[in-house]
Structure 1
Amino acid sequence: MSVIPCCQNAELRKKIEEFAETLKTEAHKLGDHGLDDQEFYNSGLFRGAIERVRGQFSATMRDKREFVKHVLNYMQDGGYIADWESAGEANRHDYAVKLNSGKTAVIELKGCLDGNNTNIFERPPHAQEFIIWSVCTNPGADPRHNAWSGIHTRLSAEIIYREQRVDGVVIWDMVCGTLGRPCPKLENQPERTTEVGPYSLPPACIYVMPATTPSPRNNSHPPAQKLDDVELLNAFHKCFGGDDAEVSYVDFEVAYQGSETVRTTTITRHGAIAQQSGATAIRRS
């Protein structure tokens, strides 16, 4: 087992790398720029075009928000949540969800979890549940690297250092179950997809975290909560056909080693350790 069931599509990754190399050597033949190959590569035109395309892909949240809107509307229509609203630009978090119990859950939307933006979050005072939702739209990204980087390297450090409780993580988006990111959950059961607007979605990857923040002196190894105790995660699980054996439970054990605070991250799935770190010092970037 590993931190997440899916893995990078090696064939697609190889094609991406090969095409990138082709672009670097053949790009001067594209378009009507009137430059020879040396002038083209010295002019900055190629680099500028690459950066522009990269920015256009990464800067907009529109597609991600459209995906989230479809998902939350589907959950509300199905009776899995009572209501939801976008939190607006004035707030650090992205969505507030009214649960069927009357509690308020807050969602912070993130990208692929491997960047410094993952470290930037603040649990609002009114949140009775606080969830990080990773929507990674890059089919060439490595989901195992990103999930471990996000949960162990970044989130655990912030949870412990800043005492910011996170009740769970959802790693799930419109690329899941596609050629770019095949989903093992569908390998023998392709009927497990749910049609949500234009998307055909496999069950979500859900990570349940402790109900308290770890502290070396007073709370060195809090256990993960039960899925039933985090109502929004349970709603995702039930609405989209999750299997209890696929839910991941995360705990952090913290201790002092000399002058440093270290943590050990353990992810358990179906009663077995899926991935575990060594005792790693907290170094925030």
Structure 2
Amino acid sequence: MSDETIPCQRDPQLGSKIDEFAEILKTQSHKLNPFGLSEVEFYDSGIFEGSIQRVRGQISASMGEKKIFVKHVLNYMQDNKYIQDWIEAGGSNRHDYSVTLNNGKIAAIELKGCLDGNNTNISARPPHAHEFIVWSVCQNKGADPRHNVWSGIHTRFSADIISEQKRVDGLVVWDWLCGTTARKCPKIEQYGREITEIGPYKLPPPCIYLFPETIPSPRNNPNPRPHTIEGVGILDAMNKCFGGSNNELNYVHFDAAMNGVELVRTTTIDRNGVVVKKSKPTPIRRS
């Protein structure tokens, strides 16, 4: 089974190109210095290391940049009547946005990064929310989307949902890099999906993952079915607003079972009736 956790993938040559260019920087940067320093003086001065750290800080997207992106998207959805209203939740909450859907229900959104870090699990469904989703905004151009999305879904979300009984209805993976040279999108290049222009962004349809309707339990509810797209209003609105196809929706199954005394889960993702990724039964180990 090929790994198509998400349709896009990292350029297979990117890693070697990064390694090659990093080596050039380490050994040739002194030729760029405008300070009249010798090679030894340049590398002893701290200019090289300090410059690398400064560049890293400048190109790392802040939460502010992510919020600007989300603001553009939600405003566009509101202007085009796909949602009624939205507000930021505020720093004291463990979710980021509350969206009022056209049927009056409230969808809460938690904004996350590339899904490969421990903070992926830090969130809480607010009591007033009828729906709760996670939105992955990954600004790292060198990230491996297939690795990161699978890490988020199988390693983190499945364990959290089953062992902590957290109710998460779905996931959207979508940001301003989608469809660019850094993250080419097969939905555009192979399937001819239209791009939506919003302010400075040109966006392909989002990648949507529908999680189980209920919390898996090895004895009473071992393999609950995933939501339908109509069952998660905020994801349905995103899919319709930005030209998504139901054939491209991802249905996520978390099957819970006991293996002796160990609680294990099997994660399966299917798209258009085809299994695109499946794990082995994996123990849930929590301290």
TM class, shorter-chain normalised?
over 0.9
- Is the counterpart of residue 72 in structure 1 residue 65 in structure 2? no
Question: Identity of counterpart residues, as a percentage?
Answer: 60
Q: Aligned residue for 2:198?
A: 196
Q: Aligned residue for 1:81?
A: 83
In structure 2, what is the Cα distance between the partners aligned to 1:46 and 1:276?
A: 45
Unaligned runs of 5+ in 2: none
* 1:178 aligned partner, one-letter code: T
The count of corresponding residues between Structure 1 and Structure 2 is: 285
Greater mean alpha carbon deviation, residues 211-220 or residues 8-17: 8-17
Q: Given that residues 109 and 134 in structure 1 are in contact (C-alpha distance below 8 angstroms), is that contact kept between their aligned partners in structure 2? A: yes
Q: Given that residues 154 and 284 in structure 1 are in contact (C-alpha distance below 8 angstroms), is that contact kept between their aligned partners in structure 2? A: no
Q: Encode CA deviations 1:229-280: one digit per residue, 9 max, x unaligned.
A: 1000000100000111100000101112233211100001001111000001
Greater mean alpha carbon deviation, residues 184-193 or residues 1-10: 184-193
Q: Aligned residue for 1:174?
A: 176
Greater mean alpha carbon deviation, residues 133-142 or residues 25-34: 25-34
Q: Given that residues 206 and 248 in structure 1 are in contact (C-alpha distance below 8 angstroms), is that contact kept between their aligned partners in structure 2? A: yes
In structure 2, what is the Cα distance between the partners aligned to 1:119 and 1:37?
A: 46
1:2-13, aligned counterparts within 5 Å?
Answer: 2-13=4-15
Q: Encode CA deviations 1:81-128: one digit per residue, 9 max, x unaligned.
A: 110011121212111100111111011001111111112111111111
Question: Which of 135, 138, 157 is residue 137 of structure 2 equivalent to?
Answer: 135
Greater mean alpha carbon deviation, residues 99-108 or residues 11-20: 11-20
In structure 1, what is the Cα distance between the partners aligned to 2:67 and 2:35?
A: 36
1:1-285, aligned counterparts within 5 Å?
Answer: 2-32=4-34, 35-42=37-44, 44-58=46-60, 60-190=62-192, 192-284=194-286
In structure 2, what is the Cα distance between the partners aligned to 1:63 and 1:279?
A: 38
* 1:140 aligned partner, one-letter code: G
In structure 2, what is the Cα distance between the partners aligned to 1:272 and 1:191?
A: 20
The alpha carbon displacement at 1:14 in A equals 3.9
Given the superposition, is the C-alpha separation of residues 43 and 117 from structure 1 closer, same or farther in structure 2, using an over 3 Å criterion?
farther
The alpha carbon displacement at 1:185 in A equals 0.6
In structure 1, what is the Cα distance between the partners aligned to 2:68 and 2:116?
A: 22
After the TM superposition, list the runs of 4 or more consecutive aligned residues in structure 1 that deviate by more than 6 angstroms. Answer: none
TM-score when normalising by structure 1: 0.93
TM-score when normalising by structure 2: 0.92
In structure 2, what is the Cα distance between the partners aligned to 1:117 and 1:39?
A: 41
Greater mean alpha carbon deviation, residues 104-113 or residues 6-15: 6-15
Q: Given that residues 12 and 180 in structure 1 are in contact (C-alpha distance below 8 angstroms), is that contact kept between their aligned partners in structure 2? A: no
Q: Encode CA deviations 1:174-218: one digit per residue, 9 max, x unaligned.
A: 100111111001114546111111111111000001121112222
Q: Given that residues 121 and 160 in structure 2 are in contact (C-alpha distance below 8 angstroms), is that contact kept between their aligned partners in structure 1? A: yes
